[in-house]
Amino acid sequence: MSSVLYQKVVKSFGALNVLRSLDLAVPDHKFLALLGPSGCGKTTALRILAGLDMPSAGKVFIGERDVTRLQPRDRDIAMVFQSYALYPQMTVAENIGYPLWIRGTPDAGRKAKIGEVAAILEIGHLLDRRPRQLSGGQRQRVALARAIVRDPAAFLMDEPLSNLDARLRLTMRGEIKRLCQRLSATTIYVTHDQVEALTMADFVAVMHGGELQQMAPPIEIYDRPANRFVATFVGNPPMNILPAALSEKGVIVAGKVVPLDAARLAACRAASVAEIGLRPEDCSAAAADTPDALQGEIYVVEPMGNETLVNVRLEGGNVSVRAGREFRGVVGESIGVAFDPANACFFNSAGLTAVHRVNNNGRVT
Ligand SMILES: Nc1ncnc2c1ncn2[C@@H]1O[C@H](COP(=O)(O)OP(=O)(O)OP(=O)(O)O)[C@@H](O)[C@H]1O
Ligand SMILES: [Mg+2]
């Protein structure tokens, strides 16, 4: 296994700039999720690493090796595509063994290795079938088996779960995570599903418009988003964003002054804060006339079984609140929204996070 490095990688298709100087380093043995909305350049970034596309500028390294100009077969990586790309005329065993056959691995060694990876992925009983005789989840396992059958320097996976139904996706999410931990494999996993990224990865790289927004461990992406885009792309329901102004004592949100301690207020002032960000779980439903709560009106109530999502219309915009399962408010009712400003983050007018939530040490950052 090896580390992976993108160095100032640019990719344009004619006038369309798809990657605008991508710098990204994936440490050896780590699982990186490349997360971003449709069209942000995720697949393009993977294809450049795999050698299926050439960058317009910049370099890619696998381990110490500059592989930018190498043929795909000389890069020692394995890629799992969304479509699985199995050979329909071959059996499962032949599909899995194909990368070894190409390399001239003798029959006996190949057979043993096929058996070994088929056992890991629990598809040993399917080896004589053709891909058309398999379910989506079984095909997906075969594609994974084919990727791990030779020990590549890195695994690249492009939305490998997107063709599966919701239930199977959930199961395979855990299975792939286990598999990658067991193999201790350097992995780049492309997804537009923020839950997949957070649950599976050691690091999440969030992309938008061909640019890397932030790369960090999942919890940091969630708790300390670099900007408004990351803050709202990760989390479901997304972080609430409201216009914010400063007063002598605190921040003015939805027509109400919420007191801030002196250090936080000074940090907000220095940064010319324009908006406040609040996660739904950091907001709570309060009685309509609660003194320090924002005042609003219930817009939608969504019982989820274990909790209730309440959407509240405030001056300045709507917010989502995670309330308990016992929540009994009805649409149109007046309601208070309470929050601890220590859990809020603040954005400047450029959309960058100027003041983060207070961390565990009580340090203002
Ligand atoms: N061969 C190509 N020629 C021209 N434009 C392309 C080509 N490949 C990709 N693009 C464009 O580049 C942009 C990024 O595409 P890419 O496939 O990398 O996005 P993505 O992040 O993988 O999106 P998705 O989540 O939908 O798969 C898109 O606007 C796409 O239309
Ligand atoms: Mg894609």
Using DSSP's 3-state secondary structure scheme, residue 172 falls into helix
Q: Looking at the chain, which residues constitute the CATH 2.40.50.140 domain(s)? A: 239-355
On the question of pLDDT at 251 being above 90, the answer is yes
Beta bridge partners of 218: none
**For 321-350, how does the pLDDT look when each residue is reduced to its tens digit (9 = 90+)?**
999 999 999 999 999 999 999 999 999 999
Residue 83: the pLDDT is 78
Q: Looking at the chain, which residues constitute the CATH 3.40.50.300 domain(s)? A: 4-229
User: Rounded distance, CA 337 to CA 333, Å?
Assistant: 13
User: Rounded distance, CA 79 to CA 163, Å?
Assistant: 16
Q: What is the mean pLDDT of residues 160-177?
A: 85
The answer to whether residues 174 and 180 touch, using CB atoms and an 8 Å cutoff, is: no
Candidate of 9, 10, 11, 13 to mutate for ligand 1, largest count of ligand atoms within 8 Å of Cβ: 13
User: Rounded distance, CA 322 to CA 41, Å?
Assistant: 33
Using DSSP's 3-state secondary structure scheme, residue 107 falls into helix
Peptide bond preceding 259 in cis form (omega within 30 of 0): no
Candidate of 10, 19, 42 to mutate for ligand 1, largest count of ligand atoms within 8 Å of Cβ: 42
Q: What is the number of the ligand 1 atom nearest to the C-alpha of 42?
A: 21
Q: Which ligand is nearest to the CA of 81?
A: 2
Homologous superfamily of the 4-229 domain (CATH): P-loop containing nucleotide triphosphate hydrolases (3.40.50.300)
**For 31-74, how does the pLDDT look when each residue is reduced to its tens digit (9 = 90+)?**
999 999 999 999 999 999 999 999 999 999 999 999 999 999 88
362 or 126, greater pLDDT: 126
Q: What is the number of the ligand 1 atom nearest to the C-alpha of 159?
A: 27
Residue 1: the pLDDT is 65
The alpha carbon of residue 176 and the mean position of all alpha carbons in its chain are separated, in whole angstroms, by 15
Nearest CA to ligand 1 atom 26: 38
**For 123-142, how does the pLDDT look when each residue is reduced to its tens digit (9 = 90+)?**
999 999 999 999 888 898 89
**For 263-314, how does the pLDDT look when each residue is reduced to its tens digit (9 = 90+)?**
999 999 999 999 999 999 999 999 998 988 999 999 999 999 999 999 999 9
Angle at 217 between CA 178 and CA 211, to 5 degrees: 110
Residues within 6 Å of ligand 1 by CB: 13, 16, 18, 36, 38-44, 192
Residues in Cβ contact with 15 at an 8 Å cutoff, skipping those fewer than 6 apart: none
Residue 140: the pLDDT is 87
User: Rounded distance, CA 161 to CA 156, Å?
Assistant: 13
Nearest CA to ligand 1 atom 8: 44
Beta bridge partners of 301: 310
- Listing from the earlier edge strand, what are the strands of the sheet with 250-253? 256-259, 250-253, 240-246, 273-278, 345-348, 353-355
For the CA atoms of the chain, what is the radius of gyration? Answer: 24
pLDDT tier for residue 359 given thresholds of 50, 70 and 90: low
CA–centroid distance, 2 to ligand 2, in Å, is: 24
Q: Which ligand is nearest to the CA of 39?
A: 1
Using DSSP's 3-state secondary structure scheme, residue 33 falls into strand
What single string gives the DSSP state of each residue in 221-260? HHHS-SBHHHHHHSSSSPPEEEEEEE-SSEEEETTEEEE-
Residue type, 343: N
pLDDT tier for residue 95 given thresholds of 50, 70 and 90: very high
Nearest CA to ligand 1 atom 22: 43
CA–centroid distance, 118 to ligand 1, in Å, is: 33
Phi-psi category of 175—alpha, beta or left, where left has phi over 0 and alpha has psi -120 to 50?
alpha
Between 3.40.980.10, 2.60.40.1220, 3.40.50.300, 2.40.50.140, what CATH number should domain 239-355 receive? 2.40.50.140
Candidate of 43, 46, 79, 192 to mutate for ligand 1, largest count of ligand atoms within 8 Å of Cβ: 43
Nearest CA to ligand 1 atom 1: 13
On the question of pLDDT at 216 being above 70, the answer is yes
Residue 153: the pLDDT is 86
Q: What is the mean pLDDT of residues 191-214?
A: 96
In this structure, what is the dihedral angle of CA atoms 184, 185, 190, 196, given to the nearest 10 degrees? -10
Burial of 210 (C-beta count, 10 Å sphere; 0-12/13-18/19+): buried
Q: Which ligand is nearest to the CA of 41?
A: 1
Phi, psi torsion values for 248, nearest 5 degrees: -60, -35
Weakest mean pLDDT among 39-43, 144-148, 162-166, 341-345 = 162-166
